[in-house]
Amino acid sequence: MNLERRSDSIGTQKALVTRFSNLILGLTGLILVSACASTSGYSGASRGANYAAGSPLGVSLPRSEHRALEPLFLQAVSRGTAGERYDWRGKESFGWVKAGAAVLGNVKSSRNDRPPYPAELTLADKLETELGLYAVTRNANVRSGPSTDYPIMETLTAGDGVIAVGRVVGKRWFLVEKDGIVRGYIFDSLLRKAPGSELELAGGPTRKPLRCRNFEQRLSYNGRSDRWAGVACLERGVWVLQQPSENAPQYLY
């Protein structure tokens, strides 16, 4: 009889443990589903972000109004053609966002130095940055990515000077800038340090380039209007407004 009771007690304990384990698994599943749901929606969106916060008037915009602005702002910075305007209207406010040039962030020592770059450029790799001036040794194909598998974007001629924006970590490819515009990737054997700069320290910080976008924006709210310019960068999958330079005339009126 005691053995039977003991067996029943063990069976009951096992059943309770099983039910408790199932309960924990169920709660975990709900948490994961909730987390996925909270990050779903428009690609690049930051839930609750105020994309009008670049102006004094925009800072005071109610959350219900930023939600009307957000999808149009994201369209402009993620896939708008330079100069293309996106109009939006909320319950109490309205305005527009105009897409500007695609620019490359986090590759220069100054955070506000963002050179333009072609939209088809591949930016999957980290770069060893601040490499300085180089010369092209012979005619060199400039490619959209750090491999001969990528398309040729243009060809530079022997003697051309370029700024090495960065060297791809673990690969023999340089990302180069010419005349203030990032052009693409050149194989390292086609470049040499420019005369007079050979003794400069080669290599600097390792950085991950950021896709950024200039924009212009107008907002009308409570009988007032603001118009300003700004920059947003794609950081960890989210478009984030960048702090303007202290000397940059970002505010238009």
- Quick: pLDDT tens for 144-183: 999 999 999 999 999 999 999 999 999 999 999 999 999 9
If phi > 0 it is left, if psi is from -120 to 50 it is alpha, else beta; for residue 130 that is left
Q: What is the pLDDT of residues 99-127, one digit of tens each?
A: 999 999 999 988 889 999 998 999 999 99
Give the pLDDT of residue 111.
Answer: 85
Give the pLDDT of residue 104.
Answer: 97
Q: What is the pLDDT of residues 181-216, one digit of tens each?
A: 999 999 999 999 877 665 555 567 899 999 999 999
Give the pLDDT of residue 246.
Answer: 57
Give the pLDDT of residue 47.
Answer: 61
Strands (E), 84-169: 85-89, 93-105, 127-136, 140-143, 152-156, 161-168
Binning pLDDT at 50, 70 and 90, where does residue 17 land? very low
Give the pLDDT of residue 198.
Answer: 54
Residues 6+ apart with CB under 8 A from 154: 141, 142, 183, 184
Asked if pLDDT for residue 6 goes beyond 70, the answer is no
Q: What is the pLDDT of residues 28-75, one digit of tens each?
A: 333 332 333 222 233 455 567 899 998 999 999 999 998 999 999 999
Give the pLDDT of residue 44.
Answer: 54
pTM, two decimal places? 0.76
Dihedral of CA atoms 11, 12, 13, 15 in degrees, nearest 10, equals 90
